Amino acid sequence: MYPKLFIPGPTHVREEVLQAQTVPMIGHRTPEYSALQAEVTPKLQKLLYTTQRVYLYTSSSTGVMEGSVRQASTKKVLNTVCGAFSKRWHQITKANGIPCDKIEVPMGQAITPEMVDEALASGEYDAVTIVMNETSTGVMNPVKDIAALIHDKYPDVLILVDAVSCMAGVKIEFDAWGLDVCLAGVQKCFALPPGLTVCAVSDRARERARQVANPGYYFSYEQMDKKYEKHQTPATPAISLIWALNKQMDDILAEGLENRWQRHKDMAAIVQDWAREYFALYSDERYLSLTVTNVKNTRGISVAGLNEELRKRGAIISNGYGDLKEKCFRIAHMGDLTVEDIKWLLEQINDILGL
Ligand SMILES: *Cc1c(COP(=O)(O)O)cnc(C)c1O
């Protein structure tokens, strides 16, 4: 048997969602396909509290991190770095030859509006990248407050948000917060198999993209827009996954968005309390993630050994990321996992470790 995933992606996929992928294949230029995309898109707009465009990219999230940063700036990009994934966005920006600088905080700390203000004050930048939930450290950055600061003082600066490990797990009000790009692969809080990325794009981000000299092709908003009104994508999409996404969005809306956000808060509180009792939390208490907890290995246990034992009982968690391996371990509490699942997991860990 495959273990139940308590890792921050891919996450546990329910059987009904897996089954939704088995609809017979259809052509991507048919009315049947257009009907599917026309059905799923408004559900995604509801999830993100937006009336603006939501694109479906057949790609993992990293592809859309690249595509979005290529279309964001005619000046210079400010990359905010607080861990491995936000660092990746800086590397992607550099690798594409886009002028950029980074501001960086130590692992476990958050990016604050004050830091962003200080950096943007130079006037060099017209786009900022922010990872909302830094999966490597278990920090959730205050994106709403950062966005408010940017709108208040730097109205020409686009706000690009990687919400990969929190979209569909926490409330993100794309329009009210004034975000310009918000992207997430579906293998995390959406609890789907990997291969698709959902990306909301503001009208002003689409306008900016038209001024960029080399916006790229596969992820280009202009290319996407050529087919958007027809409810299609320029290249062949992962049709089977979109069936599963459509089914999952029905289930998410049936659960109720507020209930879904609350369930994630409840699961996070349980894991955080457990971590405080038996170990310690790695990251700044003021900015703890609601979808993944990074536990400091204060007892010097073998994380690999714990995971081996957990696997025998049908579950796996994640070791610390990169240099934090064995110094920390991460428990994901996202997607379709329940409070019962989380309590069961923590009981298993306590039992294995004799706590
Ligand atoms: C998982 C993750 C990514 C990378 O996603 P892929 O789908 O593997 O490309 C990027 N950013 C964050 C915050 C993540 O958690």
Instruction: Compute, in angstroms, the gap from residue 90 CA to the centroid of ligand 1.
Output: 14
Q: How many CB atoms lie within 10 A of CB 304?
A: 11
94-142 residue pLDDT tens: 999 999 999 999 999 999 999 999 999 999 999 999 999 999 999 999 9
Phi, psi of 281 (to 5 degrees): -90, 140
Instruction: Compute, in angstroms, the gap from residue 282 CA to the centroid of ligand 1.
Output: 20
Per-chain mean pLDDT for the chain: 98
31-79 residue pLDDT tens: 999 999 999 999 999 999 999 999 999 999 999 999 999 999 999 999 9
Instruction: Compute, in angstroms, the gap from residue 164 CA to the centroid of ligand 1.
Output: 6
Q: Which pTM value belongs to this model?
A: 0.98
CATH value of 4-10+257-353 in 3.90.1150.10, 3.30.470.10, 3.30.428.10, 3.75.10.10? 3.90.1150.10
Which CATH topology does 16-254 take?
A: Aspartate Aminotransferase; domain 2 (3.40.640)
Mean pLDDT of 162-167: 98
From 80, 87, 160, 165, the mutation candidate for ligand 1 (largest count of ligand atoms within 8 A of CB) is 165
Per-residue pLDDT at 46: 98
Residue pair 212/98 in contact by the 8 Å Cβ criterion:
no
Per-residue pLDDT at 202: 98
What residue spans define the domains of the chain? 4-10+257-353, 16-254
Kindly give the number of the ligand 1 atom that is closest to the alpha carbon of 197: 7
Mean pLDDT of 260-288: 98
192-203 residue pLDDT tens: 999 999 999 999
Ligand 1, atom 5, lies closest to the CA of 61
Per-residue pLDDT at 24: 98
Instruction: Compute, in angstroms, the gap from residue 187 CA to the centroid of ligand 1.
Output: 9
In three-state secondary structure terms, 330 is strand
Does 332 sit in the ligand 1 pocket, CB within 6 Å? no
Does 321 sit in the ligand 1 pocket, CB within 6 Å? no
Does 131 sit in the ligand 1 pocket, CB within 6 Å? yes
Check whether the bond before 10 is cis (ω within 30° of 0): yes
What are the Cα distances from residue 40, in Å, to 96, 182, 217, 252?
32, 17, 24, 12
Instruction: Compute, in angstroms, the gap from residue 49 CA to the centroid of ligand 1.
Output: 22
Confidence of residue 332 (pLDDT cuts 50, 70, 90): very high
Residues in the chain: 355
Per-residue pLDDT at 230: 98
Rounded to the nearest 5 degrees, what angle is found at the Cα of 37, between the Cα atoms of 31 and 42?
130
H-type helices in the chain, by residue range?
15-19, 31-47, 61-70, 84-95, 113-120, 143-153, 174-177, 203-211, 221-228, 239-255, 257-278, 303-312, 339-353
Does 164 sit in the ligand 1 pocket, CB within 6 Å? yes
Nearest Cα residue to 219 out of 42, 90, 56: 56
Residue pair 146/78 in contact by the 8 Å Cβ criterion:
no
Mean pLDDT of 150-169: 98
Long-range CB contacts for residues 323-327, cutoff 8 Å, separation at least 24: 324/107, 324/136, 324/137, 324/282, 324/294, 326/297, 326/302, 327/296, 327/297
Kindly give the number of the ligand 1 atom that is closest to the alpha carbon of 135: 15
From 162, 289, 291, the mutation candidate for ligand 1 (largest count of ligand atoms within 8 A of CB) is 162
Per-residue pLDDT at 1: 82
Instruction: Compute, in angstroms, the gap from residue 354 CA to the centroid of ligand 1.
Output: 34
Q: What percent of the chain has pLDDT over 70?
A: 100
Mean pLDDT of 273-280: 98
Q: Which residue's structure tokens are 């130079």? A: 122
Confidence of residue 289 (pLDDT cuts 50, 70, 90): very high
- Higher-confidence residue of 222 and 1: namely 222
243-271 residue pLDDT tens: 999 999 999 999 999 999 999 999 999 99
Does 60 sit in the ligand 1 pocket, CB within 6 Å? yes
Residue 294, pLDDT above cutoff 90:
yes
Does 185 sit in the ligand 1 pocket, CB within 6 Å? yes
Does 58 sit in the ligand 1 pocket, CB within 6 Å? no
Q: Do domains 4-10+257-353 and 16-254 have the same CATH topology?
A: no
